Every structure is written in C-alpha cells, then in structure tokens.
Amino acid sequence: MARIEHFEEILGWQKGRELCRLVYTLTGVGTFSRDFGLRDQMRRAAVSVISNIAEGFESQSNRTFTRYLYIAKGSAGEVRAQAYIALDEGYITQQQFDQIYALSEETGRLIGGFIVYLQQHLDESPRATAAPTGKPELQTR
C-alpha cells in the first residue's frame, strides 16, 4: 500500500474532478449558458467538491479533514439537486441528467466511505493510504 501524498490521489477527488468537467461542459452551451444563476451555482457546487477535499487534506487532523469531506459530500448532493432543475428547464437531456446524477452519486459514495474510515481513526495522522480496492486505510507515522 502506497501512502497518499497528494490530494489528487484520493478517489473521491478524482471523481469530483470528472464531475466538475462534466458540469462545466454542460453548463457552457445553449440556453443553460445564459441562465447565469443556475449555471454559476451548479459550477460552484461542483468546484466545492474538489476544493474542500483538497483543503481538508492539507489540514492538520483527521477531525478537520472529515469536516471538509462532509462539505464536499454535501456539494455533490447539491449538484444532483441542481441537475433536476436543469432537466426540468430543458437545459439538459435525460441522458445528460443521468450522467451527472450517476457521477455525483458515485463521488458522494467515495467521499462517504472515506469519512467513515477517517472517523474510525480520528486520533491518527490525516495522511491515508488506499488499498487496491480503493478502500482508504490510514498510514500512521
């Protein structure tokens, strides 16, 4: 098991980055690109996922990291909620909605699994390792 040295190695961050790319792509075209409120809010929520994982990773404790992960997980849910609005307004197709929904749900699940693991190890180092299955395991110093 290799030690995670950079937040970019965290599976939830990687999926969150994919989600962010998808949201930016879909919100940048057609009438969606002109609905500044929804477009910008959806983009901020997607950016919040990866930003909070990164910021939490750089913290000094698992307790702080866990707080940031909860925010990131909530932001993934926010993207799902906003996707419903985009679908209802005709900004995205059902297929595009399904893509956003699945990717944001997967991102949230990965973050949630990491939260559960970190909560079991609150008094240890915030740097973790990931097993081949993607399940996080803590690497103590």
pLDDT for the residue 124:
59
Closest CA to 80 of 47, 103, 58: 103
pLDDT at 21 over 60: yes
Residues 119-129 pLDDT 10s: 887 665 555 54
4 pLDDT band (50/70/90 cuts)? confident
Cβ-count burial 29-56 (b if 16+ within 10 Å, e if not): eeebeebeeebebbbebbbbbbbbbbeb
**Looking at domain 7-138, does it have CATH number 1.20.1440.60?**
yes
pLDDT for the residue 97:
98
What is the separation of C-alpha 75 from the centre of its chain, rounded to a whole number of angstroms? Answer: 7
Helix or strand or coil: residue 3? strand
Residue 90 is given by DSSP the state T
pLDDT for the residue 129:
45
117 pLDDT band (50/70/90 cuts)? confident
Residues 45-65 pLDDT 10s: 999 999 999 999 999 788 899
Please provide the average confidence, as pLDDT, over all residues in the chain.
Answer: 88
pTM to 2 decimals?
A: 0.85
